[in-house]
Amino acid sequence: MDDHQLAGTLDAGPLAAKTPVLDTVTTEVAAVSGIEVDAPLPAVRLQGVTKRFPGGRNHDPVVAVDDLDLDIRDGEFFSLLGPSGCGKTTTLRMIAGFEYPSAGSLQIFGQEVGLEPPNKRPVNTVFQSYALFPHMTVAKNIAFGLEMQQLPVDEIDRRVAEVIELVQLQGREGRRPKQLSGGQQQRVALARALVNHPKVLLLDEPLGALDLKLRQAMQLELKRIQEQVGITFVYVTHDQEEALTMSDRIAVMDGGRLLQVGDPEEIYDRPRTRFVADFIGDTNLLIAEVLDADTARLYDGTVVRVPTGAPAGSTVTLAVRPEKLGLWHADAERDLRLDALTGTIRRVTFLGNAINYEVVAGERAPVELVVRQGNTPGIEHFADGERVRVRWLPGSVAVLED
């Protein structure tokens, strides 16, 4: 240990002389000499955070957020995703300071802030209703936070102009919020928060009130702005598509608990629970009996290759996305690299960009599957009642924990 440190200091000598940034030097040196460096501070760290509201049925407190442990990294676009009432908004409101945790620790860049009022926290919020001050102009709305911090007037003017350019609201400075469209109000709300250079920006379903086209445009816009300013975004939404499109990482919540945290691919391709598999996208849930560590058997007798992670003879639930399945003629030659199941088409639904086939396999204990084929040129279309083989790559099936 001492030797390492000594070596580190010696090595740092010439380096330190070249570069004035000391932090970087120690990190580099530590990495070289193999000393474990503390991971960078998370932007937001929740440890055992619980929120109980008084006055449920029989005056029992209602638990809105239940023992939440969560680290949100610096600079990431982080989404809290879940159905209404899952505790995602309460979690956001606790980070903002509008609610205080009943138990647990809440840190922003290492600083314990759980009981600080909102005006003492280095975060800003974009509200679902935008909450623009109707009696102030766009410029006054945006300048509000800076005025409250008593910054010099010329700096306020400079920063307001800067952020107005960032959200492309030039020429609207003198308007009242009522005179703006929904999308423009949304931009003002964003500018009013960003102008304060918060360490973390909190967004509570900010696109919920916009129509589909505008929402999609704003999703890209938000992502662009986030990348441009490099601030940590914590984004609350119940829209799984929105979360998948924009986020670096997603936390799926239900009933006040955290079910899974991961990047969009992880959440979509490898859901850990039924709820996550079901809430995000469409999914086929299949019950299977474990044969050994690598195989399991479906009810109709089909053997599939999956890393079961459960003792032989136990029952597991498998999840596979409809678009990961392919359709083939039942009498075609088998491709041994793929797992397959033979069945009959029960229903065909045309979706425009894709076609959904409902396939039933097995007779005594039927297994039902939905297969989605992209409506691309050259793809074979199947008809109701046709015998087909459904096939998939073994890696596309996820084993659920419940």
Partner 1 sequence: MSLTDTSGASRPLVADDSVIRPKRGVERLLAGNAWLVFAFLYLPILLLFVLSFNDNRVVGVWTEPSLRWYRAMITDSAVLGALRNSIVVAFISTVVSTILGTAAGLSLERFRYRGQRTYDGLLYLPVIIPDVTMAVMMLLFFVQAFDLLGAMLGVSATFGIGTISLSHIAFNISFVAVVVRARIVGLDPSLEEAAADLYASRWQAFRRVTLPLIAPGVAGGALLALTLSLDEVVITSFVAGPGSTTLPVYVFGLVRRGVTPLINAVSVLMLVGSMLLVLASLLLSRQRNTT
Considering only residues 223-262, where is the footprint of partner 1 by CB under 8 A? none
* Residue 181 sits in the site that holds partner 1 (CB under 8 A): no
The 3-22 site mask, x for binding partner 1 (CB under 8 A), equals: --------------------
User: Which token pair is 256?
Assistant: 């006040």
The closest of 100, 141, 136, 134 to 117, measured between CA atoms, is: 100
Site string for partner 1, 194-213 (x = CB under 8 A): --x-----------------
- Which of 20, 34, 110, 134 binds partner 1 (CB under 8 A)? It is 134
Pairing state of beta strands 326-329 and 315-320?
Answer: unpaired
How far apart CA 245 and CA 391 sit, in angstroms, is: 28
Q: Does 127 bind partner 1 (CB under 8 A)?
A: yes
Which whole-number Å values give the CA distances from 173 to 48, 221, 344, in the listed order? 44, 20, 63
Q: Kindly state the helix (H) or strand (E) to which residue 173 belongs, with its residue range.
A: none
Could you identify the residue written with the tokens 């678009």? 323
- Tell the smallest beta-carbon distance from residue 205 to partner 1 (Å): 12
Can residue 62 be called a binding residue for partner 1 (CB under 8 A)?
no
Q: Is 124 in the site for partner 1 (CB under 8 A)?
A: yes
Q: Which of 135, 213, 337, 364 binds partner 1 (CB under 8 A)?
A: 135
Q: How far is the CB of 21 from partner 1 (least distance, A)?
A: 30
> Cβ contacts of residue 90 below 8 Å, gap of 6+?
51, 64, 65, 99, 256
Among 11, 85, 98, 270, binds partner 1 (CB under 8 A): 98
Q: Given the complex with partner 1, which of 188 and 367 has the nearer CB atom?
A: 188
The correct pick among 48, 56, 117, 385 for binding partner 1 (CB under 8 A) is 117
Q: CB-based burial of residue 402 (10 Å sphere; 0-12 exposed, 13-18 middle, 19+ buried)?
A: exposed
Task: Indicate the pairing of strand 284-290 with strand 326-329.
Answer: unpaired
Report helix, strand or coil for 12.
helix
Q: Which residue stretch of 144-152, 282-290, 340-348, 362-370 sits at the interface with partner 1 (rule: CB under 8 A)?
A: 144-152
By CB under 8 A, is residue 100 in contact with partner 1?
A: no
> Please, what is the minimum distance in Å from the beta carbon of residue 114 to partner 1?
16
User: Which residue in the block uniquely carries the two structure tokens 């396999």?
Assistant: 361
Scanning 84-92, 125-133, 235-243, 392-400 for contacts with partner 1 by CB under 8 A, the matching segment is: 125-133
